[in-house]
Amino acid sequence: MSPLLQVEGVTKRYGARIGCEGVGFDLWPGEVMGIVGESGSGKSTLLGCLAGHLTPDTGRILYDAGAGSGAQDVTAMPEAARRRLLRTDWAFVHQNPRDGLRMNVSAGGNVGERLMAVGARNYGAIRARAGDWLGRVEIDGARMDDRPSAFSGGMQQRLQIARNLVSGPRLVFMDEPTGGLDVSVQARLLDLLRGLVRDMGLSAVIVTHDLAVVRLLADRLMVMKSGRVVETGLTDQVLDDPQHPYSQLLVSSVLQV
Ligand SMILES: Nc1ncnc2c1ncn2[C@@H]1O[C@H](COP(=O)(O)OP(=O)(O)OP(=O)(O)O)[C@@H](O)[C@H]1O
């Protein structure tokens, strides 16, 4: 088995300011990697580089070395190929559902659109599958023709998740997937996400401030500070016995927000 994603020496600067620096790790099929760190530590910059939203200044991001055609370097990929990956093999769950949904398209349309992007053409089958996925994310099928703007924040986030997962991606990027929601809504969403990640055997990279999110979802953890990875390890190990003083501070709740 080879890693699904091989990240080597990824650095991204904004002028003189460091976004992230020298980040490297392997993500294995079926593995969930959590990235934690205080605000400004470089989590979003790194995720943006991994998902092809940002171009790193240096480094390589190799996707799917196990494929017959060999690994593709995401940083060197033509724009059209990267867009295709983002519509098919990859998915990106934004913190704000508005960034990941089409707000003026019905809930069913939001989910169906992703199916069409991977080649589905039969209207009845697309609608049935979309309805099935609304059910999986606990949205009443009767709301299928409603627009997401008529949904609560938690429902919108569940719809965004359905839209992202319906096409059976292999790799999902998530940026604070439970951020901005009520605590009770967060807990339910987290439970739902955990079930889906497990059932689908998804590989994922999850950025969050919230250590409860990584405790539940992530197999491994990377702790970032000032753009660099200061500690990495199995989630329980890092959370229960952090080695780096910064991770100790983070875990000891001083930095938990
Ligand atoms: N578009 C930008 N232009 C200039 N500097 C930026 C830009 N985006 C991020 N930075 C800087 O890069 C560093 C890392 O920011 P980043 O947003 O990646 O951190 P983060 O850990 O995701 O923070 P948060 O949790 O608040 O989203 C910070 O110093 C930030 O000020």
Q: What is the domain range of residue 128?
A: 104-168
pLDDT band, residue 72 (cuts 50/70/90): confident
pLDDT attached to residue 185: 87
**Do 124 and 196 reside in the same domain of the chain?**
no
Mean pLDDT across the chain, nearest whole number? Answer: 93
Phi, psi (5° rounding) for residue 233? 175, -175
**Do 39 and 82 reside in the same domain of the chain?**
yes
pTM equals 0.93
Which residue CA neighbors atom 13 of ligand 1 most closely? 19
| Cα 203 to Cα 221: distance, rounded to the nearest angstrom | 14
**Do 181 and 238 reside in the same domain of the chain?**
yes
* Count: domains in the chain: 2
Which residue CA neighbors atom 11 of ligand 1 most closely? 19
Which residue CA neighbors atom 12 of ligand 1 most closely? 19
Which of 151, 168, 185 terminates a domain? The answer is 168
Query: Which of ligand 1's atoms lies nearest the C-alpha of 227?
Result: 14
User: Is residue 75 predicted with pLDDT exceeding 80?
Assistant: yes
**Do 200 and 147 reside in the same domain of the chain?**
no
**Do 15 and 133 reside in the same domain of the chain?**
no
Instruction: Decide if 146 is inside a domain.
Output: yes
Residues 83-128: pLDDT tens digits? 888 888 999 999 999 999 999 999 999 999 999 988 899 999 999 9
**Do 153 and 190 reside in the same domain of the chain?**
no
Is residue 34 within 8 Å of residue 206, measured between CB atoms?
yes
Which residue CA neighbors atom 10 of ligand 1 most closely? 19
**Do 126 and 75 reside in the same domain of the chain?**
no
* C-alpha 232 – ligand 1 centre gap (Å): 21
Local structure of 189: helix, strand or coil: helix
Considering just the CA atoms, what is the radius of gyration of the chain in Å?
Answer: 18
Which residue CA neighbors atom 25 of ligand 1 most closely? 39
Instruction: Decide if 99 is inside a domain.
Output: no
| Cα 90 to Cα 88: distance, rounded to the nearest angstrom | 6
Q: Which residues line ligand 1 (CB under 6 A)?
A: 14, 17, 19, 37, 39-45, 209
| Cα 53 to Cα 55: distance, rounded to the nearest angstrom | 7
| Cα 56 to Cα 87: distance, rounded to the nearest angstrom | 21
Candidates 12, 14, 224: which one to mutate for ligand 1, based on the most atoms within 8 Å of Cβ?
14
| Cα 196 to Cα 249: distance, rounded to the nearest angstrom | 32
Mean pLDDT within 177-182 = 87
Residues 13-59: pLDDT tens digits? 999 999 999 999 999 999 999 999 989 999 999 999 999 999 999 99
**Do 67 and 178 reside in the same domain of the chain?**
yes
Candidates 11, 43, 99, 213: which one to mutate for ligand 1, based on the most atoms within 8 Å of Cβ?
43
| Cα 256 to Cα 138: distance, rounded to the nearest angstrom | 30
